[in-house]
Amino acid sequence: MAKILGIDLGTTNSAMAVVEGGEPRVLENAEGNRTTPSVVAMSRSKERLVGQTAKRQAVVNPENTIGAVKRLIGRKFDDREVQEDKKSLPYELRKTNEGGVEIRMGETWHKPEEISAMVLQKMKLDAEAKLGERIEEAVITVPAYFDDSERQATKQAGEIAGFKVRRILNEPTAAALAYGLNKKNNEQIVVYDFGGGTFDVSVLEVGDNTVEVKATGGDPHLGGEDFDNILMGFLLGEYKKREGIDLKKDSLAVQRLKEAAENAKKELSTTQETEINLPYITSDAAGPKHFLMKLTRAKLEELVGDFIARSIKLVEETVTSAAPRGAGMKLADIDEVILVGGQTRMPMIQEQVKHLFGKEPHQGINPDEVVAVGAAIQAGILQGDVKDILLLDVTPLSLAIETLGGVATPMIQKNTTIPTAKTQVFSTAQDNQPSVEIHVLQGERPMAADNKTLARFILDGVPPSPRGIPQIEVTFDIDANGILNVTALDKATKKSQSVRVEATTSLGKDEIERLKQEAAAHETEDRKKKETIDAKNRAEALVYAAEKALRENPNVKENVKRDVEEKAAKVKELLGGEDAALIAAAADELSRSLQKIGEEMYNKKEDKSEGDHATP
Amino acid sequence: MDKEKLKKCEEEREEYLNGWKRARADLINYKRDESERLKEMEGRGADRVVRELITVMDGFEEGVRETKDEGMRIVYGELVRALGRCGVKEICPGEGDRFNPKEHEATGETESDAPEGTVARVERKGYEREGAVLRAAQVILSKSRKSQKNNQ
């Protein structure tokens, strides 16, 4: 079954994802990055570059490095926006006979959709290399405000790149899909998308598996880059004030400062204060100079506060203004808010959005990837019309075996796909134990007594040996029909016993649910019980080890011997009770005393080694 | 009747056998993919650490150039060697080398004797690990003196 690629074709960066085994997965490009710059270039050596490589030569080849074509795709040359953008774009534009836009790259002129196609083609090739299979189809996202011609041109870009474009999806709708909000009924959703270079806000209405765009707004020239620029300006200004040196003229210093400023901005999303340290940033007559500055979150917020306030105002307008400018709703009508775009990691943005709507925004999915994830989910829905050939069952509850102290030790965890088998080696709990009982359990509780018994059988004929020595191999095997076979094998004698349990999946749905709920309800109490048992098992093993040590080392000093005996007696006494902490403390003391025997032995004769540890 | 039954059995057998083969293949493929992914994750963890260290290396390198302390020089050398053992390699093109945007990032231009469009000098070294560029070397490209005049 061929996969359909979900693509977020962005103004500055693009991302892609597929659904694999029912789960969306963001794909890295050939360079190993989860986003690809939406940049294409014709290098001076007449080589076509796409993505990161194109970006890396932009400084020396700006007129042939084409970015932000999303601002031009499907538009008329005479559009006010195109004329406006033309002033700041470093490459040359011209009007086609049909009134559209063409871009000069190297010697040739290209339509914006051809440029976008080059980005899409790289993503297609990278995705194919990553997945090791051909990809023919794609879902591509566009801003909700894109008109028909912009959508058509985006679709054509996909087709030029070799895709069959299954759907052109609105970006905010993709974000809502990523959060599973398409399943809601009659809900109003606001998507706040603060990207690198654009700010979009959309109001959606979901109902009956349809998503309708009620209103869109935003500012095509407001983004995270503005934050970086204003922060850079501040840092350069501060340094000049303090040191009297203008770093702006030093391209390396500017480059280093830019990286450090971006990192500081990111860091301040999780900390209140950060340091920007750039040793040897420059030098003067007195020697090398360093850039050392503390930056607080409050300062950053002060610097970018106006940008955020502007975005919040735009959100308010888009929601409350009467149609067609806005959705004509009250802020209180909004049921869900989604944050998209890397800049929304900033706590101040999250707080202000939360404050505006009085509710917690959705932000669990990486905001740089949420649109691509949504596109992949849409693709998954489209590819879902092919039915899965083989339906595999799972075990609804865990299967376990009872071990020392009445503990249920899981062999096969719940929700394991069957058929499956699992083998584990157990041992005896007592010296010269002639047989072991295999108690097969079903359920989620940690103690055997609280779970359902499926079967019990005994493997006997275990040769006499100290506890922990015999190796009993227990295998749980569930076949495709849910029939469980449990086998116990004594590895020394090769003697084995087995039992067949037919009814492992015959539990009704209600019963399974009940058992799971019961497990959840008893979690704390059960854990405590298990802790007690674990402490007891450890203490018992220690007492056993102590007695063994005293037996095998009759020459131990009298005071050490008495100390160990007393401590062991205390542990034994406490074992009758249920206080895990007391037992653990007494066991610790015994353990310390025991070490003294060891020390003494080693001091006496260092050559004789002491072996064997009993395992419960 | 029996013939029909046999035919049905054979069909079923074919279907089950195929399903079983497919499942086996799926598992083998999954295991392979998973081990690749694990290797990738491991590499990515290392890459993250190295990326963080790169900017520290820049300053360290500069400091070593300034200092007269032989000990610091040795410490720096050891750090470079430790990174080398982790597979980290420097990207440091020489003057006149061809500009390669896969490994280099052009941050400016300057007049120089090197052929036009080639590397005039390296501003900051780049680093790679197992073929993945962790940071491109930041280079100044050469602008030949003649073309400079032509432009003016």
Q: H/E/C letters for each residue in A293-348?
A: EEEEHHHHHHHHHHHHHHHHHHHHHHHHCCCCCCCCCCHHHCCEEEEECHHHHCHH
The reply to whether A504 and A590 lie within a common domain is: no
Closest CB from B23, B98, B107 relative to A251: B107
The reply to whether A404 and A329 lie within a common domain is: no
The reply to whether A416 and A336 lie within a common domain is: no
The reply to whether B102 and B134 lie within a common domain is: yes
Tell me whether 0.85 is exceeded by the ipTM. Answer: no
Q: Is A288 an 8 Å CB contact of chain B? A: yes
Q: Is B22 an 8 Å CB contact of chain A? A: yes
Closest CB from B63, B109, B138 relative to A279: B63
> What are the Cα distances from residue A524, in Å, to A119, A316, A445?
54, 46, 11
B residues 73-132 closer than 8 Å to A (CB)? 98-99, 101-102, 104-109, 117, 123-124, 132
* Predicted confidence (pLDDT) at residue A190 exceeds the cutoff of 50: yes
Per the structure, the count of domains in chain A is 5
Mean pLDDT score across all residues of chain B = 87
Min CA distance, A289 vs chain B (Å)? 11
**Record: contact A252-B107, CB cut-off 8 A:** yes
Closest residue in B to A389 (Cα) is: B19
**What band does B149 get if pLDDT is binned at 50, 70 and 90?**
very low
Residue A580 lies in a domain: yes
The reply to whether B73 and B97 lie within a common domain is: no
**What band does A360 get if pLDDT is binned at 50, 70 and 90?**
very high
A residues 58-87 closer than 8 Å to B (CB)? 59-61
Number of H helices, E strands in chain B: 3, 6
Question: A225 in helix, strand or coil?
Answer: helix
The reply to whether B81 and B130 lie within a common domain is: no
Question: Which residues of A form the catalytic set?
Answer: 8, 70, 171, 193
CA–CA distance, A304 with B30 (Å, rounded to integer): 47
The set of residues, in sequence order, having a beta carbon less than 8 Å from that of A558 and lying 6+ positions away, is none
Q: Is A417 an 8 Å CB contact of chain B? A: no
pLDDT per residue as tens digits for the range A414-449: 777 777 888 999 998 888 888 899 999 988 888 898
Query: What pLDDT score does A532 carry?
Result: 84
Average pLDDT rounded to a whole number, residues A80-108: 94
CA-based nearest residue to A197, from A82, A67, A300: A67
Task: Collect all residues of chain B within an 8 Å Cβ-Cβ radius of residue A260.
Answer: 55
Lowest mean pLDDT among A166-180, A224-238, A393-407, A484-498: A393-407
Q: Supply the DSSP string of B35-99, one letter for each residue.
A: HHHHHHHHHHHHHHHHHHHHHHHHHHHHHHHH---HHHHHHHHHHHHHHHHTTEEEE-PPTTPPP
The reply to whether A537 and A431 lie within a common domain is: no
Specify the CATH number for the domain of residue A576.
1.20.1270.10
ω into A466 cis (within 30 of 0): no
The reply to whether A233 and A246 lie within a common domain is: yes
**What band does A518 get if pLDDT is binned at 50, 70 and 90?**
confident
The reply to whether B5 and B70 lie within a common domain is: yes
Query: What pLDDT score does B151 carry?
Result: 42
Among A303, A331, A348, residue at a domain's last position:
A303
Closest CB from B58, B66, B133 relative to A31: B133
The reply to whether B47 and B105 lie within a common domain is: no
The reply to whether A40 and A136 lie within a common domain is: yes
**What band does A608 get if pLDDT is binned at 50, 70 and 90?**
very low
The reply to whether B25 and B54 lie within a common domain is: yes
Q: Is A44 an 8 Å CB contact of chain B? A: yes
Query: What pLDDT score does A317 carry?
Result: 95
% residues pLDDT > 70 (chain A)? 94
Residue A382 lies in a domain: no
Domain that holds residue A595: 524-604
**Record: contact B59-A49, CB cut-off 8 A:** no
Among B62, B86, B110, residue at a domain's last position:
B86
Among B86, B113, B144, residue at a domain's last position:
B86
Domain that holds residue B116: 90-152
Q: Is the pLDDT higher at A612 or at B110?
A: B110
Min CA distance, B136 vs chain A (Å)? 8
The reply to whether A293 and A323 lie within a common domain is: no
The reply to whether B95 and B38 lie within a common domain is: no
Specify the CATH number for the domain of residue A249.
3.90.640.10
Residue to test with chain A: of B29, B42, B55, most A Cβ within 10 A: B55
Min CA distance, A242 vs chain B (Å)? 21
The reply to whether B140 and B100 lie within a common domain is: yes
Task: Collect all residues of chain B within an 8 Å Cβ-Cβ radius of residue A280.
Answer: 59, 62-63, 66
The reply to whether B55 and B112 lie within a common domain is: no
* Predicted confidence (pLDDT) at residue A170 exceeds the cutoff of 90: yes
* Predicted confidence (pLDDT) at residue A597 exceeds the cutoff of 80: no
**Record: contact A49-B101, CB cut-off 8 A:** yes
Closest residue in B to A259 (Cα) is: B55
**Record: contact B117-A45, CB cut-off 8 A:** yes
Residue A490 lies in a domain: yes
Query: What pLDDT score does B36 carry?
Result: 82
Query: What pLDDT score does A393 carry?
Result: 63
**Record: contact A57-B106, CB cut-off 8 A:** yes
Residue A121 lies in a domain: yes
* Predicted confidence (pLDDT) at residue B35 exceeds the cutoff of 90: no
Specify the CATH number for the domain of residue A40.
3.30.420.40
The reply to whether A320 and A465 lie within a common domain is: no
**Record: contact B109-A60, CB cut-off 8 A:** yes
DSSP state of A71: G
Q: Is the pLDDT higher at A350 or at A210?
A: A350
CA–CA distance, B75 with B78 (Å, rounded to integer): 5
Lowest mean pLDDT among A389-403, B80-94, B112-126: A389-403
The reply to whether A61 and A114 lie within a common domain is: yes
Closest residue in A to B44 (Cα) is: A32
Mean pLDDT score across all residues of chain A = 88
Query: What pLDDT score does A419 carry?
Result: 76
Residue to test with chain A: of B12, B15, B60, B105, most A Cβ within 10 A: B105
Residue B42, both tokens:
């491991």
The residue written with tokens 């499926």 in the block is A454
Specify the CATH number for the domain of residue B152.
2.30.22.10
The reply to whether A335 and A217 lie within a common domain is: yes
The distance in angstroms from the start CA to the end CA of chain B is: 97
Residue B9, both tokens:
């059995």
C-beta neighbour count of A301 within 10 angstroms: 16
Most confident of A246-255, A292-301, A498-507, B16-25: A292-301
* Predicted confidence (pLDDT) at residue A392 exceeds the cutoff of 70: no
Lowest mean pLDDT among A85-89, A103-107, A119-123, A457-461: A457-461
* Predicted confidence (pLDDT) at residue A394 exceeds the cutoff of 70: no
The set of residues, in sequence order, having a beta carbon less than 8 Å from that of B90 and lying 6+ positions away, is B125, B126, B127
The reply to whether B80 and B17 lie within a common domain is: yes
Residue A171 lies in a domain: yes
Task: Collect all residues of chain A within an 8 Å Cβ-Cβ radius of residue B51.
Answer: none
pLDDT per residue as tens digits for the range A1-48: 688 999 999 999 999 999 887 789 999 999 889 999 999 999 988 999
Strand extents, DSSP E, A330-412: 336-340, 399-403, 407-412
* Predicted confidence (pLDDT) at residue A286 exceeds the cutoff of 60: yes
Among A262, A277, A303, residue at a domain's last position:
A303
The reply to whether B65 and B103 lie within a common domain is: no
**pTM, entire model:** 0.70
Query: What pLDDT score does B44 carry?
Result: 85
Q: Is A56 an 8 Å CB contact of chain B? A: yes
Per the structure, the count of domains in chain B is 2
Residue to test with chain B: of A20, A259, A280, A283, most B Cβ within 10 A: A280
Among B68, B86, B104, residue at a domain's last position:
B86
CA–CA distance, B32 with B37 (Å, rounded to integer): 9
Residue A122 lies in a domain: yes
Average pLDDT rounded to a whole number, residues A583-601: 82
The reply to whether A297 and A358 lie within a common domain is: no
CA–CA distance, A257 with A242 (Å, rounded to integer): 16
The reply to whether B8 and B70 lie within a common domain is: yes
**Record: contact A280-B138, CB cut-off 8 A:** no
The reply to whether A64 and A137 lie within a common domain is: yes
Asked whether the beta carbons of A290 and A280 are under 8 A apart, the reply is: yes
Residue A143 lies in a domain: yes
